[in-house]
Structure 1
Amino acid sequence: MTVTYVPPTAVLDVLRLLTEGPQPGVVLNSPPGAGKSTAVTYMAHHLARHGDQVRVVAQTNSQVDDLVAKIAAVDPGITVGRYTAYGYPVPATLAASNILIANRFPDLRQAAIVVATAAKWLDPVITERGPWAIIDEAYQMRSDTLLRLASTFERAAFVGDPGQLDPFSVVNVDRWTGLAWSPLQSAVAAMLANNPDIPERQLPRSWRLAPHTAIPVSDAFYPFAPFESAPEQGAREMWLPTRSLGNSPADRAIEHAAANGWAFYQLPRRHTVRTDAEAVAAVVALAVRVLERGTMLRDERHPDGARVTADRVAIGVAHRDQMAAIKSGLAETAYPNIRVDTANRLQGSEYDIVIVLHPLSGRRDATAFHLESGRLCVLTSRHRHACIVVARDGISDLLDAHPSADPVPFNTQPRFPNGWEANQALLEHLIAHRIRAL
């Protein structure tokens, strides 16, 4: 291999269990920014040395494209196949000479590693069973997809983040609740429910979150699988080289986030519609102000310092109508291309600075959707340097008025931490970094 990668003990254990263990599968749990894609890349190349084609499964086309580029870059001497749908527009990033792109599976027989979406691997033309599969973002895969996919491989490594969002559906799924084969379980949850002897391992460190940002995320969302920031990544620094005129609340929030990694920009208490105009304006103003003030950072990637650019700032929300409102506001600024997306679509991405519109801001109720621990976990764990959370005052009272535990159906394992616990834990941390808007 042409790059230096020292695999953690957990990755080596997974490979040993996958190739020598008695079980047909093994789970590798990964906290945010723990090097999951690097681990998948290493495992794919390691398994390819056995001489059999390795199948890598991802959940979206963008995830597949990213993995193909990373796997191909490791060793130009190994052919990596990208199995596509007919008419799929292949990105320019997949132009390497050792990447083979095809929409017919027989055309990929010479590839040592083939990567495709789960949906594409279900193509009925694939009749032969492969010896190995690596399923990336396995917690995003529904269990019914795994049931249909299982006949295409003999052994599989399931890699993913247990703190992220579970699969979701727009239809009522109560009829399947509690069943071991419920299609709305994640692939990992269903597999472990039916195969309790399947071994699990965990990557222990986050390479994305610095120590002062990793601790609250670990405490709130991973109390039974704690992780720490990788000490090898060294110190991080973020500063604003220009002074602000008037010292506005937005400027104070940005300065606080630069110094502490977190800021909680709190608007006055009020019940609002989801597209709260004041909250939308605050999110837009904060994102624009971060760039206007020429925010600088220093870390292991930029030891000499670098300026934060628009492509390294993201805005996370819970709903698409909020996303549309914020995009509309950004369109009237000098930075219309700042990424704005829902938590579901931000999974797996990484930015230097992330601004979050809290899912419970301005609400009268705390529904299961808005209390989902995975949603808040995704939104508050995408950043390398700073996260600014925007919300109206009153979330603490809203949580106190909501039951701390929902009924747990028979044969269903409760998720820990539940949304109420996770929200309370993170809110307690955010209060210490509060900057009032007025």
Structure 2
Amino acid sequence: MSSDPVVSPSHEAATVIAAVLADLLSGDHRGVVVDSPPGAGKSTLVVRAAGELAATGAPLMIVAQTNEQVDDLIDRLGTRSPQVTVGRLSAVDYASSERVRAHPACRVAPKVADLGSPAVTIGTAAKWATVTEGTWPWAIVDEAYQMRSDALLRVAPRFRRALFVGDPGQLDPFSTVEVDRWTGLSWDPMQSAVAVLLRHNPDLPVHRLPVSWRLPASAAPVVAEAFYPFTGFRSGTGPGDRVLTFGRAASDGLDEALDAAAASGWGFHELPGRFTVRTDAEAAAACAALAGRALTREGVATSESGTGPLTADRIAIGAAHRDQVATIRALLPPEAAGVTVDTANRLQGREYDLTVVLHPLSGRRDATAFHLESGRLCVLTSRHRHGCVVVAREGIAELLDAHPSTEPVHLGVPVKFPDGWEANQAMLAHLHRR
């Protein structure tokens, strides 16, 4: 999708959102799908749509995928529409977070009957699956591409019309059990809720948010080319609108990678090539040291939101595995104690000024489907507002050449583009060009 540079990002995004709300409120379709690139305002759209649907007087249900997403949406609803009553479906032992308690019109209960008929009832997909009575005229499904189709099947009897919002380029649903028996079926539970929905309802309108408000002008074209080659998007900011500077001069390779990220949006800290165990201590130490160095060099971030120091809570380190995360956390210097270190799955939906990424293929002998998954690399390289530094050992290009994409093609299964091999090649090519 090519954007007209004459049209402002705000106007372009507003036009698409107006079309989404018009389709939703017209009642001509049982569902409306909205595809969104990273940082395009999915949650903002969900909150706005919730407010407008609640204003019609019809009750609304919202389905999110995690408790963190539920609490975040409640917080946003309380800020934008404090007069809208909200019921938070929860587990019996759930302790309300500060964000939920801050909403003046939110009630928490494990059963729908105990919520007092609020305008908006919100809960996770797993919690909604336990609800066996009641229907709602409207539903909003947030992060719908993270939702398995069988989870949608369990909650579908609860609503008549729905808005599905999600990012098609991020992590797909996963399972810890074998799922080959369902491969090729149109209702394959391992397909995302949106994929199965559109296979059975191809006439549903699909809208695409055209602007990322998170990714800077240096990142949006790179991420779009690697992970969204057929839809594309642009940044809501232009070159020079965001600036990351360091108060202390560079002294070694770590600083050079940080300076490259500050200047071009991308840094690449490449270690000598060799095969390593998954918890590569040298690579983990480099990730931890980069975060510490960014803080000791007194970074300052300037953007449309203002100017402020680069603090630990605005830096994140991402990795593919939990044991890698644990190793990096243990190696963080004292000044970086507040830096977020987590897996791609848990970083999804969050944003920071600076991110450090341990490449999933670093030091590996093979390129498995897990490590080649395009959504994992997409999440890791699309969390930043200013710069991203990738840490990896030499040899990834040769590894990709030695392991070309060999995923089997199954009859009846839509082919996902781009595949992980292609996405990794595109991202690696840019890191080497910078």
- Aligned residue number for residue 135 of structure 1: 141
Superposition pairs of residues 420-431 of structure 1, within 5 angstroms: 420-431=421-432
Partner SS, residue 212 of structure 1 = coil
Matched letter for residue 353 of structure 1: L
| 1:372-387 matched pairs, under 5 angstroms | 372-387=373-388
Match of 2:292 in 1: 288
Measure the CA separation in 1 of the matches of 2:201 and 2:12. Answer: 31
Query: Is the aligned partner of 1:111 residue 2:118?
Result: yes
| One-letter code aligned to 1:161 | D
Any conservation in 1 of the 2:356–2:391 contact (CA below 8 Å)? yes
- Is 2:372 the partner of 1:371? yes
Three-state SS of the structure 1 residue aligned to 2:134 is coil
| Distance (whole Å) between structure 1 residues aligned to residue 55 and residue 104 of structure 2 | 20
Among 185, 188, 209, the residue aligned to 2:191? 185
> C-alpha offsets along residues 289-326 of structure 1, whole Å, 9 cap, x if unaligned?
01111111100111xx2101111100000011101111
Q: What is aligned with 1:90?
A: 96
For 2:367 and 2:46, the matched residues in 1 are separated by 37
Q: Structure 2: how far apart are the matches of 1:310 and 1:188?
A: 36
**Long gaps (5+) in structure 2:** 1-9
Measured after TM superposition, the shift of residue 363 of structure 1 is 0.6
Opposite residue 168 of structure 2, the aligned amino acid is P
Decide whether the 8 Å contact of 1:317 with 1:341 is kept in 2: yes
Contact 1:18 1:26 in 2 (8 A): yes
CA RMSD, 1 decimal: 1.7
Distance in 2 (alpha carbons) for counterparts of 1:187 and 1:156: 12
Cα distance in 1, alignment partners of residues 115 and 155 from structure 2: 19
Structure 1 contact 233–300 (Cα < 8 Å) conserved: no
d(CA) in 1 for partners of 2:95, 2:373: 34
Between 260-269 and 110-119, the greater mean CA deviation after superposition: 110-119
> Of 253, 260, 267, which residue of structure 2 is paired with 1:263?
267
Asked if structure 1 preserves the Cα contact closer than 8 Å seen for 2:149 and 2:190, the reply is: yes
**Conservation of the 8 A alpha-carbon contact between 2:136 and 2:160:** yes
TM-score using structure 2 length: 0.94
Alpha-carbon separation, structure 1, partners of 2:28 and 2:55: 21
Say if 1:37 and 1:242 are closer, same or farther in 2 by CA, change over 3 A: same
Shift of 1:73: 1.0
- Matches of 1:322 and 1:129, distance apart in 2: 44
C-alpha contact (below 8 Å) 1:132/1:155 kept by paired residues:
yes
Question: Equivalences for 1:390-409 in 2 at 5 Å?
Answer: 390-409=391-410
State how far apart, in whole Å, the 2-side matches of 1:41 and 1:234 are. Answer: 31
Match of 1:325 in 2: 327
What secondary structure, in the 3-state scheme, does the structure 2 residue paired with 1:106 have? Answer: helix
Identity %: 54
The range that moved more, 137-146 or 175-184, is: 175-184
- Counterpart residue type for residue 169 of structure 1: S
Q: Which runs of 5+ in 1 are unaligned?
A: 434-438
Q: 1 CA distance for matches of 2:21 and 2:116?
A: 24
- 2:106 equivalent among 88, 99, 102: 99
Are 1:309 and 2:316 an aligned pair? no
Give the 3-state SS of the residue equivalent to 2:229 in structure 1.
coil
Distance 2:11 2:419 in 1: 36
Shift of 1:6: 10
**Residue number in structure 2 paired with 1:436:** none
Separation in 1 of the partners of 2:241 and 2:310?
17
Give the aligned residue type for 2:162: A
Q: Distance in 1 between matches of 2:163 and 2:83?
A: 24
The alpha-carbon deviation at position 232 of structure 1 amounts to 7.8
Q: TM-score, normalised by structure 1?
A: 0.94
Amino acid at match of 1:318: A
Deviation at 1:21, TM superposition (A): 4.4
Could you give the per-residue CA deviations for residues 11-34 of structure 1, whole angstroms, max 9, x where no partner exists? Answer: 222222223243311100010000
Alpha carbons of 1:384 and 1:266: their partners in 2 closer, same or farther (altered >3 Å)? same
Question: What SS does the corresponding residue of 1:369 show, helix, strand or coil?
Answer: helix
CA distance 1:186–1:108, change in 2 (3 Å): same
Please state how far the C-alpha of 1:109 moved relative to its aligned partner. Answer: 3.4
